[in-house]
Chains A and B, each alone.
Chain A
Amino acid sequence: DSGVTQTPKHLITATGQRVTLRCSPRSGDLSVYWYQQSLDQGLQFLIQYYNGEERAKGNILERFSAQQFPDLHSELNLSSLELGDSALYFCASSVGAGGAYGYTFGSGTRLTVV
């Protein structure tokens, strides 16, 4: 157990739907990062929050949004889902605003859009 908790582990939904993925960072970590991992695109950085504020944005689609709550857990909202959104979504956390000592990853949410 890495200390980063992601729920749900698996999600199957239809095109056009909206889902919410949840992440609880490791205790003491202030940063949360979201990544998308697909077979053809590798590990793609989506967005980072640090202590409740958005800090960095990567290749995140406009249909996707995220937030970090006062208790530091984070949610990634994916809407108007398309078949191509099927992927593994990872959350990672770190103590500081950057990755100086590495990230701790959760075990991921596997999203299947049918």
Chain B
Amino acid sequence: GEDVEQSLFLSVREGDSSVINCTYTDSSSTYLYWYKQEPGAGLQLLTYIFSNMDMKQDQRLTVLLNKKDKHLSLRIADTQTGDSAIYFCAESQSNNDMRFGAGTRLTVKP
């Protein structure tokens, strides 16, 4: 089947930028998403990007999409301890199921 892959762990210092990377294999992916899961909670949709976009910025979050390389990244500026969580990349085609990566555990050190 089609895969979504991401590295499992990332550790950064408070105040630094975090970059979480994701690759996907389905070239017909239409929508790409980033979700955040805090301990003991469900997944929270952070942002999404359509496949015809290259970049989307929302406050401290910047999403970059390289459709040619099927590479998606999430940059968190001025990372805070409250950003410590698991971040999931996901993709879908219109009206199709969403496929999730395994999640990247972001640890922010003071």
Contact = CB atoms under 8 A, between A and B. Distances in A.
| A and B co-occur in one complex | yes
Interface of A: 2, 4, 33, 42-43, 45, 48, 56, 58, 90, 92, 96-108
Given A42-B102, A42-B103, A43-B88, A99 B42 contact: no
Nearest to A43: B100
Contacts of B103: 42-43
A58 B48 CA distance: 23
Interface in B33-61: 33, 35, 40-45, 48
Contact of B42 (A97, A102, A106): A106
B92 interface: yes
B51 to A, nearest CB: 12
B45 A108 contact: no
B72 to A, nearest CB: 14
Contacts, number: 67
Nearest to A101: B48
* Nearest 10 A/B pairs, CB to CB: A98-B95, A105-B42, A99-B98, A102-B45, A99-B92, A42-B102, A105-B43, A107-B42, A43-B100, A97-B95
B94 A98 contact: yes
Interface centre among B88, B92, B103 (most CB of A within 10 A): B92
Contacts of B33: 99, 102
Interface string B89-105: 01011111111111100
B42 A98 contact: no
A31 B31 CA distance: 17
A14 B93 CA distance: 40
